[in-house]
Structure 1
Amino acid sequence: MSSPSMNAQRRDAGQPSVIKSKSIPRKQRKATPQHPSVYRMTSKRKERTSEKSFERMPPEIILRIFSYLDPGSLFCIGLVNKHFQELSNSNFMWYQFYIRDCMKKKKAGREGRAIHDLGVQERPKGYWRNAFFKETAGLNVNKWRTKLKRIDPYSGLPRHTEDVIRSLCITWEITVTDGRGRRSTFEQSHASFSGTAVFVFWGAVTWPPFNQLTSLELHGVLRVPLDCPAPYRPCWKSVMSKIKLQGDHCEVCVSDKIVKMLYVGQGVTLGFWKDQWEIAFIMVNLHNHRLVERSLHASISPRPAAGVSALFDDVDPEYGLHGYAAYIELHDTVRVIMSDRFSQLFCRRDQICDGYLPLEVISENNRSSNTYLVGDVSLPWRTEALHGTIKDCCMINLTVTDEAKQPFWCVSAPVVMTKASQDTVSYDFGGEGFSILYRDSEGRVEMRLKQMDYKEQYFVVNLVIYIAVAKVNKHFGRDY
């Protein structure tokens, strides 16, 4: 017969031993760890439950909670979902912000109370939010248009353009599109102002390959100064120009040991690393003529204002051929190299040739009108890692006004100074001859210079502005 101890050993050999929990003190017990996915599922369930419970709240309670938010937080919470977007557009809350902002600027009072009496909720949804954004951004059209009416008699352009742009915090962006339709947007690196133009630079970004790009768009941007991250701030964007990058391009303007530049029109210049077509930087020159309106037209009106055409004058047989004035400025990104104004420019009917009206600004026979360039002609550039200077290159800003002192032809683009192919003999200037040329669909500029032998100085000995006859006929209603 087997003993009880032997039977116990057999049972133990056939089954695993089980230790009862009673034999282990409670202090020494360890909780059985759960799988990490269990925690994730639990946390997600809690988040979904909290979200659903918050969304199930009555709209009155949610609006009451939203009323404690500042404008920036209220705008950002509208980006969470459609339900919050609808509630965050409450006319009542945004009206309170609007009135509070007006009170700070001392513009509220009886007018605000009268509007409140008429009923805030009767306005379309989002009305007071947009009104608050425009008020906060300083988009008071009458105010800055009145400021831009003060014209500088020397340049013929508004004298407070820079002040208005800085007060409105206007910036510019570039959007490039590749062959697959993918769009990339880049904010400006910095901007500098001259008397007649704004020089905007993009240099601290990584651009897509140039051979894959099909178009480039320049936008004027006005952001509302809310207390929220810059990418989420509401803004107005206006398409100022759109340039196709496929097909033939202009020739390379000029280059140095590191980069080469290509002008693609409408004031836009692309800089490439030498011996390859990778974009290093982009420069944009914007003429001050109607610059504020062009940068903001999407926010003030659906379309930009049309140009003003002169009225037909059948009394003057030479109408449209005289009374012109020109203000020309050569500059780099930092300083002005040359600036001068010339008036009483005219062209006789028999001087019209090859579809152009020549306006002789500086003539070799008239020594009194000679002007000169101050310093070297060069254009500095800078990227995030490198910087340099391209010699014999600068920017030209030209403003031609008509007899009514209205801007008639405006140019803002890079130009290159080259050695003159046919140098003329001059007894007053014995140095080498150089030329600066500019051309577009509306006209061209031809400038000849002489370098002094004993000084690093250039004198302009000849300057002629050619205006397309088609442009003159369209503006003045003539048929030259």
Structure 2
Amino acid sequence: MSSDHVKPQRPDGGQFSNIKSKWLSRHRMATSHTSVYKKTHKRTEMTCETSLERLLPEIILRILSCLDAGSLLCISLVNRHFHELTNSNACSAMWYRFYVHERNKKKIANPKNRKKVAPSTVSPQEFPTGYWRNMFFREMSGLSGNTWKKKLNRIDPYSGMPCYTEEVLRSLCVSWEITVTDGRGQRSTFKQSHAAFSSTAVFLYWGASNWPPFNQLTSLELHGVLRVPLDCPAAYRPGWKSFMSKIPLQGENKELCASDKLVKLLCIGLGVTLGFWQGGWEIAFVILNLHTHRLVERSLHASVCPHTEAEVSALFDDVDPEFGLHGYSAYIELHNTEKMIMSARHSQLFCKRDEISDGYLPLEVIGRPNKCLNSQLVSDIRLPWRTEVLHGYIKDCCMMNLTLWDEAQQPFWCVTAPVVITDADADADEDEVSFDVDAESVSILYHSEEGRVKIRLKRIKDRDEYSVDSLVIYIPVFKVNEHFGRNY
């Protein structure tokens, strides 16, 4: 054979072909492993997504029938499949069994009525979807009966408010939440950290530490929250939210009312007070006062009474020429969320026609000639405050609760707000001078669009005690005309 037809040999002696063949074989093995992994992984994902749904409905219902109400509710939050299953007619029998058990438990606990609830002759599946589930939640929350409404019908003769407001709110597990909105529309919700009750008001406190910057906030909303007392995590418990009020945060109708070395208070209206750290406008806490007049209805009206009842107006009396100027009663109390400072009830308050001035109708509750009506206040008037880290108190500051009734004993004006003790010379209307060397005159002033309150006090020197010198309530004339149908 000629040398022209002989292929040239590589100097490596064929090692290149061996390396190439080994590389190709390893590449094929890696590719095959990758494809097998991808197929296996994809098949595993499909199996995980559909394994629960592949179970027979009878088996799933058999498993769910062994759960209690709280566990069944948590199962409904796992995915859409379980949510639809637990709310379908297939689970109506379970929710109906929970409902009957809860009803019978309450009937047995009530000594006046020990008759158990008889099973329904109609099949639970014949009711609308989710009917017995909702009925069970309403029964658990106490909304299905009228027990709490009957309790609110009993009135305290001294304060004039329902006796069992605190008991009803606590038995219904009612709480309150604040939602703030910034300029970009982002909303942040905060749960209350503390609640304190008096005879005519409830004091709510938010001491969170992650408040948004105040200069970016536009509004504050208050909601009453009703949670079902199920045996499951609180975040998963069903409930209802009731919108109560909305307050704009950026405006001119704001005023600083008190301060200490660490915090300062800003009243923004409707019983809401913001606490800021000194040296800036960073929110430290939020204080809210709510009057107990129809407080339960206002906190639950979204789920119990969708339409809030309108304010009742007094009937016109064409026989009495001074109708609307007499027959008032007032109950006032000062407290600091820890103890009562003063409480007093006064009746037969009146105002003569010629005493109306500057658009206000004055009602003299305690006057200077009536020295026997003066009340002695306890010492140490201060308002406690608390955050997650620090706590303290603001001196010469407390909460005022006022309830004013008309001649028919209908609530005419209800207010609860923080008030501050100031020097007497800050009151421009004061025309008397005290010559008592052992006491100095101070004032408590409150004013809003609904009315004004002026309290004159005598502070005994070196004892930090006070005595009431006078107390006058000023009602706008337009409010009297609107309520009584007059034209003063």
Q: Tell me the residue number matched to 1:309.
A: 313
What's the RMSD between the two structures over aligned residues? 2.8
For 2:236 and 2:195, locate their aligned partners in 1 and report how far apart those are by CA, in whole Å.
Answer: 23
For 1:40 and 1:13, locate their aligned partners in 2 and report how far apart those are by CA, in whole Å.
Answer: 33
The letter for the 1-side match of 2:161 is: L
Checking the alignment, whether the CA contact within 8 Å between 1:429 and 1:452 is kept in structure 2 is no
Checking the alignment, whether the CA contact within 8 Å between 1:429 and 1:451 is kept in structure 2 is no
Deviation at 1:427, TM superposition (A): 5.9
SS at match of 1:15: helix
For 2:154 and 2:124, locate their aligned partners in 1 and report how far apart those are by CA, in whole Å.
Answer: 38
Q: Pick closer, same or farther for the CA change 1:168–1:470 going to 2, 3 Å.
A: same
Q: Tell me the residue number matched to 1:22.
A: none
Q: Tell me the residue number matched to 1:459.
A: 467
Q: Give the share of equivalent positions with the same residue, in percent.
A: 64
In structure 1, the gaps of 5 or more residues are: 1-6, 20-31
SS at match of 1:112: coil
Checking the alignment, whether the CA contact within 8 Å between 1:262 and 1:270 is kept in structure 2 is yes
SS at match of 1:199: strand
Deviation at 1:189, TM superposition (A): 0.7
Checking the alignment, whether the CA contact within 8 Å between 2:255 and 2:266 is kept in structure 1 is yes
* 1:97 matches 2:98: yes
Checking the alignment, whether the CA contact within 8 Å between 1:253 and 1:262 is kept in structure 2 is yes
Q: Pick closer, same or farther for the CA change 1:442–1:38 going to 2, 3 Å.
A: farther
Checking the alignment, whether the CA contact within 8 Å between 1:451 and 1:457 is kept in structure 2 is yes
The letter for the 2-side match of 1:234 is: P
Note the alpha carbon deviations across 1:147-196, whole angstroms, 9 max, x for none: 01110111110111111111111111100011111111010111111121
Deviation at 1:322, TM superposition (A): 1.1
Deviation at 1:56, TM superposition (A): 4.1
Q: Tell me the residue number matched to 2:85.
A: 87
For 1:277 and 1:69, locate their aligned partners in 2 and report how far apart those are by CA, in whole Å.
Answer: 51
Q: Tell me the residue number matched to 2:286.
A: 282
* 1:450 matches 2:458: yes
Checking the alignment, whether the CA contact within 8 Å between 2:195 and 2:204 is kept in structure 1 is yes
SS at match of 1:272: strand
Pick the aligned partner of 1:74 from 72, 87, 92: 72
Note the alpha carbon deviations across 1:220-257, whole angstroms, 9 max, x for none: 11101122221121111111111011222411111111
Q: Pick closer, same or farther for the CA change 1:304–1:318 going to 2, 3 Å.
A: same
For 2:151 and 2:58, locate their aligned partners in 1 and report how far apart those are by CA, in whole Å.
Answer: 45
Deviation at 1:54, TM superposition (A): 2.4
Q: Tell me the residue number matched to 1:15.
A: 18
* 1:208 matches 2:209: no
Q: Tell me the residue number matched to 1:27.
A: none
Note the alpha carbon deviations across 1:338-369, whole angstroms, 9 max, x for none: 11111110112222222211100111121111
SS at match of 1:243: strand
Pick the aligned partner of 1:137 from 132, 136, 141: 141
TM-score using structure 1 length:
0.89
Checking the alignment, whether the CA contact within 8 Å between 1:156 and 1:407 is kept in structure 2 is no
Q: Pick closer, same or farther for the CA change 1:77–1:18 going to 2, 3 Å.
A: same
Checking the alignment, whether the CA contact within 8 Å between 1:429 and 1:450 is kept in structure 2 is no
Checking the alignment, whether the CA contact within 8 Å between 1:254 and 1:390 is kept in structure 2 is yes
SS at match of 1:462: strand
Q: Tell me the residue number matched to 1:361.
A: 365
| Greater shift in the superposed pair: 82-91 or 439-448 | 82-91
SS at match of 2:486: coil
For 1:147 and 1:120, locate their aligned partners in 2 and report how far apart those are by CA, in whole Å.
Answer: 33
SS at match of 2:231: coil
In structure 2, the gaps of 5 or more residues are: 1-9, 23-29, 109-113
The letter for the 2-side match of 1:112 is: A
Pick the aligned partner of 2:61 from 50, 60, 63: 63
Note the alpha carbon deviations across 1:275-299, whole angstroms, 9 max, x for none: 1111000000111111111111111
Q: Pick closer, same or farther for the CA change 1:35–1:97 going to 2, 3 Å.
A: farther
Checking the alignment, whether the CA contact within 8 Å between 1:240 and 1:295 is kept in structure 2 is yes
For 2:51 and 2:61, locate their aligned partners in 1 and report how far apart those are by CA, in whole Å.
Answer: 15
SS at match of 1:302: coil
Q: Pick closer, same or farther for the CA change 1:38–1:350 going to 2, 3 Å.
A: farther
The letter for the 2-side match of 1:224 is: V
Q: Tell me the residue number matched to 2:403.
A: 399
Q: Pick closer, same or farther for the CA change 1:80–1:105 going to 2, 3 Å.
A: same
* 1:269 matches 2:273: yes
Q: Pick closer, same or farther for the CA change 1:122–1:110 going to 2, 3 Å.
A: farther
The letter for the 2-side match of 1:78 is: S
Deviation at 1:43, TM superposition (A): 5.9
The letter for the 2-side match of 1:473 is: N
Q: Tell me the residue number matched to 2:7.
A: none
